[in-house]
Amino acid sequence: MSVDTDIVPMAQPVLGEEEERAVIEVLRSGQLSLGPRIPEFERRFAERLGVPHAAAVSSGTTALHLGLRAIGVGEGDEVITSPFSFVASANAIVYQGATPVFADIDARTLDLDPAAAAAAITERTSALLPVHIFGYPADMPALEAHGLPIVEDACEALGAVHADGTPVGGRGHPAAFGFYANKQLTTGEGGMLTLGSAEHKARVDSERNQGRAPDMGWLDHDRLGFNYRLTDIQAAIGLCQLDRLDGMLADRAQVAGWYREALAGLEGLELPCEDAGGDVRGWFVFVVQVPRGADRDTVIRGLRERGVQSKPYLPAIHLMSYYRETFGHRPGEFPVCEDVAERSLALPFFPAMTEGQVARVAEALARVLDR
């Protein structure tokens, strides 16, 4: 069989002359950190989501960590979350000495199942940490009904909108966004925590900067803090990315539409759920579930031989060795999550992807699946 050397990559950021110019401007300004672009990036991000505050931080993970600290999660607490996520959402709970209590996911949306979350609540539950996985809005009204504090993992969900018109991350709970290179908006690495309360904003601003309040003297610290700062170079890139965000989101949605059409006839292949009930996905990845009975590793190898990158995405967190060994998890606890995790496959997906590339991926997948 011939091996295709023209690879279709998994992801590709959209960066242009604007970002180049903005970075050079920061370099020439001499103010590489703690400069004016941080508050500007925060203001514009908060404005876009319709929230009072946003705090720029070094990653989505550090946003989650500071969000959990802001709502007071600590030693001995339980936080209910999804086992079908990137590992950082559960890790952030462990950083605080709390226990991640997993609940199964909804088979359609792949987000935390509100009924399973409700069943997992105990007297030690101090918060919920839903994840808007693959950019599909979690059922926030159902989760909010319990009256527990919430931190949202919106790292994959920039551009998503809830049925009531609220942007995901705009409900006033601390909501974490990530700006790694494959995200809807990238700063290389980076993150943002949107916040509804001025008190939370002050605490997060201090804790990301080694526990120093803005009115305190240099090298004076009145609480434990971290270095979770974003640089001005990253903020400058983020501001340019915000300018082009609507276009990039529209391009991603178009690529998803091409995929839907191209893959529609492949029997047994499950596609990402369609928007329903007014919820709108913010497209981040295009993840399919291979047909039952198909061997995913063979599919990945077959695609690679045809010049198409793909990745298993995501493994179940509770079955990772750290979580098994530390918390005693075993297969069978969360059957929906485990079934989805075993069959999930991320296909190449990025705003500049062409219809021809999508067709190539679809054709390769059809061949490999023998459809």
**Residue from the set 84, 136, 180, 323 that interacts with ligand PLP by CB under 6 A:** 180
- Does the protein bind ligand PLP through residue 258 (CB under 6 A)? no
Q: Does 169 bind ligand PLP (CB under 6 A)?
A: no
Tell me if 155 contacts ligand PLP by CB under 6 A.
yes
3-state secondary structure labels for all residues of the chain: CCCCCCCECCCCCCCCHHHHHHHHHHHHHCCCCCCCHHHHHHHHHHHHHCCCEEEEECCHHHHHHHHHHHCCCCCCCEEEECCCCCCHHHHHHHHCCCEEEECCECCCCCCECHHHHHHCCCCCEEEEECECHHHCCCCHHHHHCCCCCECEECCCCCCCECCCCCECCCCCCCEEEECECCCCCCCECCEEEEECCHHHHHHHHHHHECCCCCCCCCCCCCCCCCECCCCHHHHHHHHHHHHCHHHHHHHHHHHHHHHHHHHCCCCCCECCCCCCCCCECCCCCEEEECCCCCCHHHHHHHHHHCCECCEECCCCHHHCHHHHHHHCCCCCCCHHHHHHHHHEEEECCCCCCCHHHHHHHHHHHHHHCCC
When CB distances to ligand PLP are compared, the closest residue is 60
Tell me which of 57, 67, 70, 85 binds ligand PLP, using CB under 6 A: 85
If one asks whether residue 127 binds ligand PLP (CB under 6 A), the answer comes out as no
Strand 53-57 versus strand 99-102 pairing type: unpaired
Which span sits near ligand PLP by CB under 6 A: 54-62, 110-118, 201-209, 325-333? Answer: 54-62
Q: In the bound complex, what is the minimum distance in angstroms from residue 153's beta carbon to ligand PLP?
A: 5
Which of 57, 59, 228, 306 is close enough to bind ligand PLP by CB under 6 A?
A: 59
The footprint of ligand PLP on residues 6-25 (CB under 6 A) is: none
231 touches ligand PLP (CB under 6 A): no
CB closer to ligand PLP out of 77 and 152: 152
Closest approach of Cβ 284 to ligand PLP, in Å? 8
Which of 132, 183, 281, 318 is catalytic? The answer is 183
Stretch that binds ligand PLP, among 72-80, 106-114, 153-161, 240-248 (CB under 6 A): 153-161
Identify the residue among 41, 84, 86, 258 touching ligand PLP (CB under 6 A).
86
Instruction: Give the nearest distance from C-beta 289 to ligand PLP in angstroms.
Output: 18
Q: Is 82 in the site for ligand PLP (CB under 6 A)?
A: no
Active site residue 183: yes
In terms of CB distance, is 126 or 186 closer to ligand PLP?
Answer: 186
Catalytic residues: 183
Give contact residues for ligand PLP (rule: CB under 6 A): 59-61, 85-86, 88-89, 131, 153, 155-156, 178, 180, 191
